[in-house]
Structure 1
Amino acid sequence: MTADGNVNAFKTKPAHLPFRPFFLAAAVDAMLGAGGWLPSALGIHAFGATAISAGDWHRDLLLFGMVPAVLTGFLLTALPRWTGRQAVLPRTTYLLIVLWACGRLAFLSLPPSFGLACSAIWILALLLIAARVVIAGRDHRNLKILFLLAAFCGSNVLVAASYQVEFALRLALASIIGLVIIIGGRVVPALTVAYVESAGGRIVLHRSASRERAAALLTMCALCLWVAAPETQLTGLACALAAFSQAIRAAQWKGWRGLSSPTVLGLHIGYGWIVAGFAFLAIHIFAPAMLGRATAVHAWTIGAIGTMILAIMASMIRKHSRVAFVPSAPATGALAAMTASCLFRLLIEVAPGYVGPLASFSGTLWIISFGLFLTAYRGVLLGVGVK
């Protein structure tokens, strides 16, 4: 590792690591998705060679491009360990890489529906592979991951067919937030404990089973109600209760014990944006003149999903590189840039007269954050120096 914390010289044990190509693809998609939309935020409306608006490009490359790429890399790597099954074979990874590449080529050269259809096939393939691992391992705990993947795949199909698009987009976002809550609930406390103990400290997390179940039930109800009836008072109440229950859940993980580790801190901040998103939705529903729905949506998409993606990808790379908590200046900068990106986007609500500059700052910082991520971990993701 270089003196400035750049993690290009990571050494990993000889193994097939499925996350490598997909984390690389996700970072590229993240930068292209924001980069293609950024000119419109600056008032430049000429866009691209394909018959697709800047907003749809931004949506499709991020929600149905970047996010499933991260999910693919993470689940192919983590599920065998979670279920006790054999690691995913390299040919499985190659198949999914080919499906991803077909989707990208179709998206860039054909009507958008073709690219979205390829994305749906890719997500369906991931669902079937994950289902085989989970069912073979009789791992009932991970059935909820399969359910949410199926819902996400269904939302992709609906968008590709241009049917009930607004409903489908809410379903897609709710599915991803559900997956982030499940994965975060495993990764965040585990990494917090590992960091404190690696630093010579001692930490015991008292996680109440009843609070966990209550948070899961209230959150599931809130997400389902928001997908089906996004503006009703019942949905607002459910979102408020979900925000409260998730805040209580996250407090059990003692995030303040990991303040000196940027990766651990980033995970807690990312999870905190989930709580904020539910709270903002409740405020919007009960007082729509005070807060727009876009504030809650961007708290989830930029704050929660963006930050958690960076932190979880970094933690998985570091774990398999045997340098779990070695500081990295570019990686820390990536998390800081993502936080700033979210804050600039949320400022639009209180300074509507500066929509253009604030949106462009937010998009630029998003691109910078993933650029810094690639700077920090390009050696591992490209396999440079890894045997």
Structure 2
Amino acid sequence: MATDGSVLAFDAKQKQTSAPFQPFFLIAGLDAIVGAAAWLPSAFGIQAMGPTGISPGDWHRDVLLFGMVPAILTGFLLTALPRWTGCRAVSPLTTRLLVALWLCSRGTFLFLSHSAGLALSALLVLTLLLIAAGRVIASRDRRNLKILFLLLVFCGGNMLAAASYQVEFALRLALASIIGLVMIIGGRVVPALTAAYVESAGGRIFIDRSVVLEYAAAVVAACAFGLWVVAPQAQLTGLACALAACSQATRAAQWNGWRSVASSTVLALHIGYGWIFVGFGLLAIHILAPECLGQAVAIHAWTIGAIGTMALAIMASMIRKHSRRAFVSSVPATGAFVAMTICCLSRLLVDMLPSYGALLTSLSSTLWVVAFGLFLVAFRRMLIPQI
């Protein structure tokens, strides 16, 4: 079996019809690389300011939350919603206009104004919300109302950050909504792809998902996020996060992740989801015993581990599905997942091994760039068909 990016070549008919995810996954990968590359000098101890005068820390934070994430969300939802709701797909013109809006937001963020760039990013999310709402309402699909709600919350956090109003609150709001979306999307994609992979390999699998457990896990996680956003250091928040970690771990255990070890993409989905309950657990430790652990450890478990790994794995799975090669092996793609996992582990160790902080931070930043670089190499033929 071929093991390089060339396995993702697709037939002439597919070349003529571009999917909405193609431009957005491409620019998301490039943006992730540029954002981390600009942060690298600080990781190596070189003090520098961002292009619009913001600190490197604010730079790489905002590039992740309000640049890369909206691009991936837009590409994924524009592609998935027609199948979820049964409504027609968005037109190529709409896709191009949204790409142009994203490029304007990033260009403004890079070269003109940090706040104006974030405001344009919020406008993109709001536009995506309106498009998604039109399809969900038209199809009377109540199942996806929670996605609309979380998009609205994310848009609100983005707007508050753009206005520089209650920035820490805005960032918690944005991060909580994104992890919530990852939980919803992951809850659909991870078990479905696990079952499909096992069956494609000639095996049998039965994923018994308890409805009671699913609802309980969702309610507990929602409460934990709500408490963290409004009262991040309260003891009750710590207890809620500990319960959320346990309920999410129990939920994920139903999906038989051990059956997917031979598929790097499916295994990466399970690992990425695993970082969600690890993040809850680390946050609970920080709140209940702040002298033992800093909040940054939990935040990076979510931003690098959950968002970074799930972004790579979900993009890869969607690309492969549309290339009709759902579980074909790819060395660069596997390398991307490995690099992202080591990237996350390295960043978590920064606070635990402060004497090696500079080395671990620079290693983590470099591996982030490597991971998204390998992703673009692996899937270049689907994202840029003419290559």
TM-score, with length taken from structure 2: 0.97
* Corresponding residue for residue 247 of structure 2: 245
Give the stretch that moved more between structures: 337-346 or 89-98: 89-98
Q: Is the 8 A contact 1:6 1:329 kept in 2?
A: no
Residues 216/121 of structure 1: CA separation in 2 closer, same or farther (3 Å cut): same
1:60 Cα deviation (Å)?
Answer: 1.5
CA contact (8 A) 1:6 1:330 kept: no
Runs of 4+ aligned residues of structure 1 deviating over 6 Å after TM superposition are: none
The answer for unaligned runs of 5 or more in structure 1 is none
Please report how far the alpha carbon of residue 57 of structure 1 lies from its aligned counterpart in structure 2 after TM superposition. Answer: 1.4
**Offset at residue 5 of structure 1 (A):** 5.1
CA contact (8 A) 2:78 2:90 kept: yes
Residues in 2 aligned to 1:48 and 1:146: alpha-carbon distance in whole angstroms: 33
Pick the aligned partner of 2:292 from 284, 290, 305: 290
Equivalent residue in structure 2 for 1:379, among 363, 366, 381: 381
Gaps of 5+ in 2: none
Residue 352 of structure 2 aligns to a residue whose secondary structure is coil
Query: % of aligned pairs identical?
Result: 68
> Which secondary structure state, in structure 1, belongs to the residue aligned with residue 379 of structure 2?
helix
| Closer/same/farther in 2, CA of residues 141 and 376 from structure 1, 3 Å limit | same
Contact 1:5/1:327, CA 8 A, preserved across alignment: no
User: Of 141, 144, 159, which residue of structure 1 is paired with 2:143?
Assistant: 141
- SS in structure 2 of the partner of residue 200 of structure 1: coil
Partner of 2:262: 260
Partners of 1:115 and 1:359 lie apart in 2 by: 27
Residue identity matched to 2:335: G
Using the TM superposition, give the Cα deviation of residue 3 of structure 1 relative to its aligned residue in structure 2, in angstroms.
Answer: 5.1
**1:370 counterpart residue number:** 372
What is the match of residue 39 of structure 2?
A: 37
Supply the RMSD in Å over aligned alpha carbons.
1.3
CA distance in 2, matches of 1:2, 1:115: 42
CA shift for structure 1 position 108: 1.8
Give TM-score, length-normalised by structure 1.
0.97
Could you say which residue in structure 1 is the equivalent of 2:9?
Answer: 9
Q: How many residues align?
A: 385
How far 1:16 sits from its partner (Å)?
3.5
**How do 1:90-239 residues align onto structure 2 when only pairs under 5 Å count?**
90-239=92-241
CA distance in 1, matches of 2:231, 2:332: 42
Q: Distance in 1 between matches of 2:287 and 2:61?
A: 24
Partner residue of 2:328? 326
Q: Which amino acid aligns with 1:293?
A: Q
Q: Mapping of 1:47-86 within 5 angstroms?
A: 47-86=49-88
2:8/2:323 contact within 8 Å kept:
no
Q: Distance in 1 between matches of 2:298 and 2:3?
A: 39
Find the residue that maps to 1:349 and give its secondary structure: helix
Report the alpha carbon displacement of residue 49 of structure 1 after superposing the two structures with TM: 3.6
Instruction: Tell me the equivalent position of 1:304.
Output: 306
